Amino acid sequence: MPSQSTHRSTYQSTYQTRVADYWNAEENPVNLELGRIDDLYHHHYGIGAVDPSVLAEVADAGRTGEVPAGHRERVTAELHRLEQAQAELLASHLGDLSPADRVFDAGCGRGGGSVVAHLRHGCHTDGVTLSRKQADFANEQARKRNIDDKVRYHHRNMLDTGLATGAYAASWNNESTMYVELELLFAEHARLLRRGGRYVTITGCYNDTYGRASREVSLINAHYICDIHPRSEYFRAMARNRLVPVHVQDLTADTIPYWELREQAAHLVTGIEKTFLDAYRNGSFQYLLIVADRV
């Protein structure tokens, strides 16, 4: 079992303290209302085609100015379905896991991804977040599901977890790499993973072929207090830390329908939706799945 030591300082910089403060205070409906549907709380975006009947209902509401009964609930449920599809896609790339295996969720948020991985593979999961509030919330959800003997969350730093070296068969980041330096992050994943272990990330990155980070990418950084990395830096930092990509998939086109629907969900909008859509459409921003083996 990985070490449960808590002697390390969770925050390594003023910036990390600010990130923790942001997520400790966050009560965004686009995260909470979606999670309440089935108690799977995701802090990421969705992929896949939107149900045509939901789109028709949205169009009718736009033409008549009247919101049909249950409209908000249907839109919320559809966005959650797309986010769940994203989580399932990531979990499907974690490799051939057994219930005896341990996996690591770096930047776990309110814990939905760890639950998805456990339900799919039966494995033990350890999630790590800078937010004590998120860790406490996620642990309570695991207790309610009666899986807290196998799914645990820790208030720790993903760059210096204190968890046992080589103890993990798989690990991942789901839209959390933009909060840390990739060199330090991948060094920690390489330390935690056993040889032949699998690392997966789904992330937004800026497109090197566009040039420097676009105005839209800068606005996203400011909105989330993050620092989106260029696509090329992922592969350079992985190579320096014994993580060899085996599969790369561009999910940009797959995530645009999610953002188009969310932009029309008046009860859930955060004000950043148009910026994401503009960035995806002008080619400056990409949504990638990267799968790598630890060698």
CATH code where residue 48 lies: 3.40.50.150
Cβ neighbourhood burial of 245 (10 Å; 0-12, 13-18, 19+):
middle
| Domain-embedded: residue 257 | yes
Q: Tens of pLDDT along 96-125?
A: 999 999 999 999 999 999 999 999 999 999
Q: Which two tokens mark 202?
A: 């789904």
Model confidence over 125-168: pLDDT tens digits? 999 999 999 999 999 999 999 999 999 999 999 999 999 999 99
In a domain, residue 4? The reply is no
CA-to-CA dists, residue 106 to 29, 76, 159, 293, angstroms: 23, 26, 9, 16
pLDDT confidence of 4, banded at 50, 70, 90?
very low
Opening angle at CA 258, ends 257 and 262, nearest 5: 115
Give me the mean pLDDT over the 197-207 stretch.
Answer: 98
Residue 215 lies in a domain: yes
Q: Is residue 262 part of a domain?
A: yes
The residue segments making up the domain with residue 22 are 14-294
CA dist., res. 97 & res. 120, Å (int): 9
Q: Is 6 part of any domain?
A: no
Confidence band, pLDDT 50/70/90 cuts, at residue 30: confident
* Contact indicator for 287, 250 with CB cutoff of 8 Å: yes
Q: Is the pLDDT of residue 191 over 50?
A: yes
For the chain, how many structural domains are there in total?
A: 1
Q: Decide if 8 is inside a domain.
A: no
Count how many Cα atoms sit within 13 Å of the Cα of residue 247 in the half-sphere of its side chain.
15
Mean pLDDT of 239-262: 98
Question: Does the global pTM surpass 0.85?
Answer: yes
